Amino acid sequence: MFVRSKKSGQYEYLQVVENQRVDGKVRQNVIATLGRLDVLQETGKLDAMVRSCSRFLEHSAVLSAHRDGQVEPVANKRLGPALVFERLWRDLGLGQLLKELLAGRKFGFDLERAIFLTVLHRLFAPGSDRAAEHWKHHYVIDGVDDLQLHHLYRAMAWLGEPLGDEDQTDAAPFASRCLKDRIEEALFAKNRDLFSSLELVFFDTTSIYFEGEGGQTIGQRGNSKDHRPDLKQMVVGMVLDSDGRPICCELWPGNTSDAKALIPIVDRLKGRFGIRSICIVADRGMISKHVIAELQTQVRNVRYILGARLRAVKEIREQVLGRGGRYHKVRGPRQHRKDPAPLEVKEVRVDDRRYIVCHNPEQAKTDRQTRDAIITSLREKLTQGGKQLVGNKGYRKYLKQRPGAAFALDEAKIQSEARFDGKWVLQTDTDMTPSEVALRYKDLLMVETLFRSLKSVLETRPIYHKRDETIRGHVFCSFLAAVLLRELLARFDQRGWPVEWQRLRDNLDALEESTITTAGKTFVIRSQTVGDAGKAIQAARIALGPVVRLEKPSP
């Protein structure tokens, strides 16, 4: 039923009309004619009629009063974060998995809700777990009202709790199997279909430092990627499948090298996830002759694509890069700014070792221009004396010392550096074409991007925990946050929707519910979605419902 205007002669009339289907066709049936539009407007009868009808439109009246500032909200709470990620949490089966693992255990509080709250807090308000207890009061999150800080700590300790001796078969030499391992394995099994496999996996590590002592064993001093050698740290490894989905995370003491960690990771992947063949893609910090030999043993039979160090390995520096041959073009020059970078590849074999030399002409030009700028600056500064230049790492590698302590440009070094412009080298034992090898290694950027998310977007630091169990649980909550985030971004990608997480996070955070009381009744009013929030709600397959709803009194 609706109101329409109908012109008759020189006048326009308002009519109340409803649609009716007659003989398969929709026809308009006039219920009443309200009068001439100009007369209704001039006499004010139209406004009076609308006001009279509004007495029976309770929700519309409340919404209008709220917008006009006639009633003050009793409370405002943010709705978007839990609305979207609660659905993803359920769709992935995480809540049910936790409840199954909790069977027979009694904690006196809802541990599953405590974990979900911690994960959601990592996504939207990165920082210390201490803040999550207060943060939740500003959000609509089911089942978290009674949770306190010590409940969150107990939940994380449960996640990092070591399993019994009988469940340590696939444990790494520097880390016990914990409850979080069972969750990773169950999550993979639950969401695995006939087409999912781990034949190609990506692996990378990072270090995270502690504000305190770093637990009983995990916190150790090592090679800090955060440039904080003064603090204890741990090493965190992440494994992703070929579609960029997080599979598992591994935690080791901070003095564990990447090369030492790779072999146990491979062994654990086969045992934990029931896979027969595997090709691991890892960065250049993983490679060593010992690692390659261990991967190729008959027991493991693991294929690999590993980044190689151009300058540090003599065979690569002198033989691989010095070998002639024509490059095969994989991707040509960019036509648009967002196109992938150009790429050329060629294969070089040294005895039984297979290398793929990759070249980016665009990056080569940038490297050459950067070096030329440095050399030009050096020539000018050398006329003023060169001792002060030695402390500059960018300058120092192009200098040599003459007899009498004078410094000069090292022309041989300048020519040598030109060989590395725009190049990187991969070592592999796969049967993939050189192009396939290069593109698979480029996909490793997904892992590096995810780690940046873990350390900035999800902000795993600061870590104040004093026990190994709570430290492991703390990091695993960040891993679960990454799982949920990847699922949401994948749904955007499936629909062809570009998205930037920080903007989407702000859009979801802006979706609010306001509770107001008027005429003895309590109403809840939802704000409109802004930006990409509506797309996120659609991607999560959520129906928002009415803008205004009457809050029913508790029984």
Higher pLDDT, 70 or 527: 527
- Going along the chain from its start, the domains and CATH numbers come out as 2-56 (no CATH), 172-332+341-351+427-464 (3.90.350.10), 363-420 (no CATH)
Amino acid at 34: L
DSSP state of 403: T
Higher pLDDT, 193 or 269: 269
pLDDT in tens, 275-312: 767 788 877 666 677 877 887 787 777 888 888 888 87
Based on the number of CB atoms within 10 Å of its own CB, is 314 exposed (0-12), middle (13-18) or buried (19 or more)? exposed
What does the pLDDT read at residue 55? 58
DSSP codes, 302-342: -EEEEEE-TTT-HIIIIIITT---PPEEEE---SSTTSPPP
Buried b or exposed e, range 138-162, using 16+ CB within 10 angstroms = ebbbeebeebeeebbbbbbbbbbbb
pLDDT in tens, 178-191: 999 999 999 988 87
pLDDT in tens, 341-368: 899 999 999 998 899 999 999 999 999 9
Higher pLDDT, 64 or 269: 269
End-to-end CA distance of the chain: 36
What does the pLDDT read at residue 65? 58
pLDDT in tens, 477-523: 988 998 999 899 889 989 999 888 889 999 999 999 888 776 667 77
Q: What percent of the chain has pLDDT over 70?
A: 85
Residue 92 has pLDDT above 50, yes or no: yes
Q: What is the pTM assigned to this prediction?
A: 0.75
Q: What percent of the chain has pLDDT over 90?
A: 26
Contact 472, 40 (CB under 8 A): no
Residue 105 has pLDDT above 90, yes or no: no
Amino acid at 368: R
pLDDT in tens, 120-160: 998 998 766 678 888 999 999 999 999 999 999 999 999 99
How would residue 386 be classed by pLDDT, with cut points 50, 70 and 90? Answer: low
Q: Which of 380-384, 403-407, 441-445 has the lowest mean pLDDT?
A: 403-407
How would residue 104 be classed by pLDDT, with cut points 50, 70 and 90? Answer: confident
Q: Which of 104-118, 162-176, 321-335 has the lowest mean pLDDT?
A: 162-176
What is the average per-residue pLDDT within 28-36? Answer: 88
pLDDT in tens, 51-89: 676 655 555 555 565 565 656 666 788 999 999 999 999
Backbone angles phi, psi at 125, to 5 degrees: -145, 70
